[in-house]
Structure 1
Amino acid sequence: MNIYYKFNSFLIILISILLLISLSAAAEEDFTAAELLISASELNEKLEAGSENLKIIDVRSSARYLLGHLPDAAHMWGDDLSAVQGWVPELIPKASAFSELAREKGINNDSEIIIYGEQASPWPARLWFIFKVYAHQDVRILRGGYQAWNREDYETEMLPYNPGEGNFEVSDVKNEWLINSDTIAENLDNDDFLVLDTRTEAEYTGEETNSAAPRKGRIPGSIHLEWSAVLDEEGNYKSAAEISRIFQEAGVTRDKEVIAILSHNGVRAAHTFFTLRLLDYNNIKLYDEAWVGWSNRSDLPVEMN
Structure 2
Amino acid sequence: MSWRINFLILVVLSWACQKEKQVVIPNHNEGNLIEAAELKAIINQPNIKLLDFRKKDEYDKGHITKALNIWRTDIEDSSYPYRGMMASKSQIQAVFGQLGINSNDTIIVYDDNGMCEAARLWWVLQNYDFKNVRILNGGISAWALNNGSLTTQKVKFKPSTFELSDNASMVYHISKAELEQALKSDVTVIDTRTLDEYTGKTHKNGATKSGRIPESLHIDWAESINYDGDQRFKTIEEIKKKYRKLNIKKTDLIVLYCHTGVRSAHSTFVLTQILGHQNVKNYDGSWVEWSYFNNLPFENDQVSLIKK
Q: Do both proteins adopt the same fold according to a TM-score greater than 0.5, normalized to the shorter chain?
A: yes
* Partner Cα separation in structure 1 for residue 254 and residue 82 of structure 2: 21
**Residue 294 (1) aligns with residue 290 (2):** yes
Q: Contact 1:105–1:162 (CA<8 Å) still a contact in 2?
A: no
User: Relative to total residues, which structure has the larger helix share, 1 or 2?
Assistant: 1
1:121 and 1:112, CA in 2 relative to 1: closer, same or farther beyond 3 A? closer
> Which residue of 2 is the match for residue 277 of structure 1?
272
* Partner Cα separation in structure 1 for residue 211 and residue 148 of structure 2: 45
Equivalent residue pairs, number: 282
CA displacement at 1:275 relative to structure 2: 1.2
CA displacement at 1:155 relative to structure 2: 3.1
Equivalent residue runs for 1:143-222 within 5 Å: 143-171=137-165, 172-190=167-185, 192-222=186-216
Q: Which runs of 5+ in 1 are unaligned?
A: 1-10
* Partner Cα separation in structure 2 for residue 278 and residue 182 of structure 1: 26
* Partner Cα separation in structure 1 for residue 118 and residue 181 of structure 2: 31
AA paired with 1:269?
Answer: S
283-292 vs 157-166, which moves further: 157-166
285-294 vs 270-279, which moves further: 270-279
AA paired with 2:172?
Answer: W
> Which residue of 1 is the match for residue 9 of structure 2?
none
> Which residue of 1 is the match for residue 248 of structure 2?
252
Q: Contact 1:74–1:162 (CA<8 Å) still a contact in 2?
A: no
> Which residue of 2 is the match for residue 241 of structure 1?
237
AA paired with 1:237?
Answer: F
> Which residue of 2 is the match for residue 5 of structure 1?
none
> Which residue of 2 is the match for residue 52 of structure 1?
46
* Partner Cα separation in structure 2 for residue 128 and residue 93 of structure 1: 13
Q: Contact 2:195–2:220 (CA<8 Å) still a contact in 1?
A: yes
Identity score, percent: 29
* Partner Cα separation in structure 2 for residue 178 and residue 260 of structure 1: 9
**Residue 69 (1) aligns with residue 88 (2):** no
CA displacement at 1:150 relative to structure 2: 1.4
> Which residue of 2 is the match for residue 264 of structure 1?
259
AA paired with 2:183?
Answer: L
Match of 1:264, SS? coil
CA displacement at 1:238 relative to structure 2: 1.1
Q: Which runs of 5+ in 2 are unaligned?
A: 1-11, 302-308
Q: Contact 2:32–2:134 (CA<8 Å) still a contact in 1?
A: yes
**Residue 82 (1) aligns with residue 76 (2):** yes
CA displacement at 1:104 relative to structure 2: 0.9
* Partner Cα separation in structure 2 for residue 183 and residue 227 of structure 1: 23
* Partner Cα separation in structure 2 for residue 123 and residue 101 of structure 1: 17
AA paired with 2:111?
Answer: G
Instruction: Output the TM-score relative to the length of structure 1.
Output: 0.86
CA displacement at 1:236 relative to structure 2: 2.1
**Residue 41 (1) aligns with residue 41 (2):** no
Q: Contact 2:255–2:283 (CA<8 Å) still a contact in 1?
A: yes
Q: Contact 2:173–2:282 (CA<8 Å) still a contact in 1?
A: yes
AA paired with 1:41?
Answer: A
* Partner Cα separation in structure 2 for residue 91 and residue 189 of structure 1: 24
Deviations 1:139-192 (A, max 9, x none): 0011111111112222322122131112102224122321122232233353x3
**Residue 25 (1) aligns with residue 21 (2):** no
AA paired with 2:35?
Answer: S
AA paired with 2:260?
Answer: N
Q: RMSD between aligned alpha carbons?
A: 2.1
* Partner Cα separation in structure 1 for residue 225 and residue 144 of structure 2: 19
* Partner Cα separation in structure 2 for residue 72 and residue 187 of structure 1: 43
